């Protein structure tokens, strides 16, 4: 009878150790999960990298505007919604201090074809980019 009691104690101890190991594993895996701020920061950096890689597309629009209006010193803000898959939706020019419809059309056409990395939060983001025309 005493031997059966010892066996149950060993089984209990084994279950206790297994449970402790499982809890430790779960907790250690949770510590590697990035915070919301870290995920958003990663999305912002990825968006900036994509814009940097495509800056020549915008430069051609700026150069054409300067050919049409030599000495132009302007600025405009390009805004768009970036959906959860990284596609550009509803791009528009805002706060433009000069008038050049061809420039607006050129910039809008360039941003529409860009593909950004998917959002880390699986959500839409409002993005703005200031353009200096000098």
Predicted local distance difference test score (pLDDT) of residue 41: 74
Q: How far from the centroid of its chain's Cα atoms is residue 75's Cα? A: 25
Residue ranges, the chain, pLDDT below 50: none
Are residues 20 and 44 both part of a single domain? no
Are residues 46 and 80 both part of a single domain? yes
34-56: string of b/e by CB count within 10 Å (b at 16+)? eeeeeebeebeebbeeebeebee
Predicted local distance difference test score (pLDDT) of residue 36: 67
Predicted local distance difference test score (pLDDT) of residue 28: 61
Are residues 21 and 41 both part of a single domain? no
Please give the model's pTM, rounded to 2 decimal places: 0.69
Are residues 52 and 96 both part of a single domain? yes
Helix (H, G, I), strand (E, B) or coil at 130: strand
């Amino acid at each position: 009878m005493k031997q059966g009691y010892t066996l149950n104690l060993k089984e209990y101890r084994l279950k206790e150790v297994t449970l402790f190991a499982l809890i430790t594993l779960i907790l250690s895996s949770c510590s590697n999960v990035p915070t919301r701020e870290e995920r958003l920061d990663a999305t912002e950096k990825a968006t900036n990298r994509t814009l940097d890689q495509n800056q020549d597309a915008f430069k051609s629009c700026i150069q054409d505007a300067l050919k049409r209006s030599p000495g132009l010193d302007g600025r405009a803000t390009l805004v768009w919604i970036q959906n959860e898959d990284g596609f550009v939706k509803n791009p528009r020019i805002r706060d433009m201090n000069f008038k050049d419809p061809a420039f607006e059309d050129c910039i809008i056409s360039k941003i529409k074809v860009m593909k950004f990395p998917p959002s880390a939060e699986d959500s839409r983001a409002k993005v703005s980019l200031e353009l200096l025309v000098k």
